Amino acid sequence: MTDPATTAFDVIIVGGGPAGLCAAMYAGRGMLRAVLLERGVTGGELLNTEKIEDYPGFISILGPDLAEKMTEHAKAFGADIRQENVEGIHRLPDGAFEVRASEGIVYHAPTVILTAGGLPTKLGVPGEEEFAGRGVSYCAVCDGAFFKGETIAVVGGGDAAVEEADYLTRYAEKVYLIHRRDALRASKLIQERAFANPKIEMVWNTRVLEMRGTPAGLNELLVEDTVEGGERTLAVTGSFIFVGFVPNSGLIKEHFEHDAAGYIITDDRMMTSVPGLFAAGDLRVQLTRQITTAVGDATTAAIAVEKYLTDRKAMAGA
């Protein structure tokens, strides 16, 4: 049986990516009893990113190296990092929270910072995993600059895909925009911008069957016509996938305010509609999702938690 003293904290941080590690670092600086729960190695999507060139202080750094530095920094301020697969966040009648992990351990705290991010929807085709970080990407802002003067492809037909295709033309010589239908789902204004861009070539009624390349990286896509059924190859050195993103907001086991896609709505202190539950990083409604925005969210959330706990104690003693 687990000792309750080992699972009682001031704040529980769920998720060990940049936002979670930053929140843990600030919680430590604030002398809070905090625990960070992460199902795997800390770092989140940093571990899947080969090179980062848009994080202040590092002109260029490998994703895993930045993850290691962030983890070391959090630990230097006393971060208690535990490998746990969180199954749910439940609010108790007294307003505190219990966070249940898969091994039967239940953590307790008056506050939670949810930084579990989410996952881009993948195509699930051969070669996609093999060339991830070597031509296959899910973030144009992160990786677009690596494809200067090259021919690349964007897969998708919604706002994100079309906007990112337009953005990528500032680097690439040519961008194929591959969509499985004969009309885009993106808003009219975004579509018009893409249609007017001479670097974008629409590839209608087409789906990707396979991603191919060499040890050096991706060099072609095998695609199929969804109407006629014929196959052909497209020579590209990069493939950006924008067919959806699933935020890990389902861990919250009660009603909370969110948008149509499931992203969590917070106030300016990163608190959700559930008092005491804060959110930071990619699962929160915001304009852009970058490492810098994730750590900014987490800084605000951790400091807001300190104030929330102070006010909660004052009310309890009144």
Domains contained in the chain, CATH given: 4-120+245-317 (3.50.50.60), 136-241 (3.50.50.60)
Catalytic residue among 22, 142, 166, 297: 142
Core vs surface per residue 246-261: b (16+ CB within 10 A) or e: ebbbebbeeebebeee
- What confidence score (pLDDT) does residue 178 get? 97
Tokens of residue 228, six digits? 């006629």
* DSSP state letter for 122: P
Catalytic residue among 10, 65, 80, 139: 139
Task: Output the CA angle 175-177-179, nearest 5 degrees.
Answer: 165
All residue ranges of the chain with pLDDT < 50 are 1
Catalytic: 22?
no
- What confidence score (pLDDT) does residue 318 get? 58
Using alpha carbons, select from 109, 69, 107, 61 the residue that is nearest to residue 88: 107
- Cα 310 to Cα 318: distance, rounded to the nearest angstrom: 12
Task: Output the CA angle 118-244-99, nearest 5 degrees.
Answer: 20
Catalytic: 143?
yes
Cα 2 to its chain centre, rounded Å, is 32
Mean residue pLDDT across the chain: 92
- Cα 14 to Cα 16: distance, rounded to the nearest angstrom: 7
Tokens of residue 174, six digits? 């040519």
- Cα 77 to Cα 138: distance, rounded to the nearest angstrom: 32
- What confidence score (pLDDT) does residue 1 get? 44
Question: With left for phi above 0 and alpha for psi between -120 and 50, is residue 152 left, alpha or beta?
Answer: beta
- What confidence score (pLDDT) does residue 6 get? 64
